[in-house]
Structure 1
Amino acid sequence: MMYEYEGGWSIHLLDALWAYRTLPRSATGFSPYSLVYGSDAISPMEITIPTPRVSVVNDLEWDAKSCLDWRLLDLEAVDERRMEAERKMALYHKTVAQAYNRTVKPQAFKQGDLVLKVVEHMRRQMSGPSKFASQWEGPFAVKEVHSSGYYRLISVKEGMLTDPINGKWLKPYYC
Structure 2
Amino acid sequence: MLNLNIDKAQAKRVVDLHELEEIRLDAYESSKIYKERTKAFHDKKIVVKELKSGDQVLLFNSRLKLFPGKLKSRWSGPFEIKEVLPYGSVTLLNKDGSEFTVNGQRVKKYLADQKIPEGSSVPLCDPPKA
Which residues of structure 1 form unaligned runs of 5+? 1-60
Is 1:134 equivalent to 2:73 in the alignment?
yes
Which among 88, 92, 95 is matched to residue 153 of structure 1? 92
Equivalent-residue separation in structure 2 for 1:130 and 1:155 (angstroms) = 24
- Deviations along 1:2-38, whole A, 9 cap, x unmatched? xxxxxxxxxxxxxxxxxxxxxxxxxxxxxxxxxxxxx
Distance 1:131 1:80 in 2: 58
Larger deviation: 82-91 or 128-137?
A: 128-137
Are the counterparts in 2 of residues 108 and 167 from structure 1 also a CA contact under 8 Å? no
**Once the two structures are superposed, what CA deviation does each residue of 1:33-83 show, in whole Å capped at 9, x if it has no partner?**
xxxxxxxxxxxxxxxxxxxxxxxxxxxx55365766554433222221222
Select 1:96's aligned residue among 30, 38, 44.
38
> What TM-score, normalized by structure 1, do the two folds share?
0.52
Counterparts in 2 of 1:134 and 1:62: CA distance versus 1, 3 Å: farther
The equivalent position to 1:76 in structure 2, one of 10, 13, 18, is 18
RMSD (Å), alpha carbons: 2.5
SS of residue in 2 equivalent to 1:153: strand
What SS does the corresponding residue of 1:129 show, helix, strand or coil? coil
Q: Is the 8 A contact 1:114 1:141 kept in 2?
A: yes
Q: Which moved more, 1:86-95 or 1:129-138?
A: 129-138
CA distance in 2, matches of 1:152, 1:102: 28
The answer for the alignment partner of 2:116 in structure 1 is none
Question: Identity of paired residues, percent?
Answer: 25
Structure with bigger strand share is 2
Cα distance in 2 between the residues matched to 1:113 and 1:146:
14
Structure scoring higher RCO (CA < 8 A, sep ≥ 6) equals: 2
How far does residue 90 in structure 1 lie from its aligned partner after superposition?
A: 1.7
1:169, distance to aligned residue in structure 2 (A): 1.8
User: 3-state SS of the aligned residue for 1:116?
Assistant: strand
2:111 corresponding residue in structure 1: 174
5+ residue gaps, structure 2? 113-130
- Secondary structure in structure 1 of the residue aligned to 2:30: helix
Match of 2:3 among 63, 69, 79: 63
More off after superposition, 78-87 vs 137-146: 78-87
Partner residue, 1:41: none
Deviation at 1:111, TM superposition (A): 0.5
SS at match of 1:152: strand
Structure number with higher helix proportion = 1
Q: TM-score, normalised by structure 2?
A: 0.67
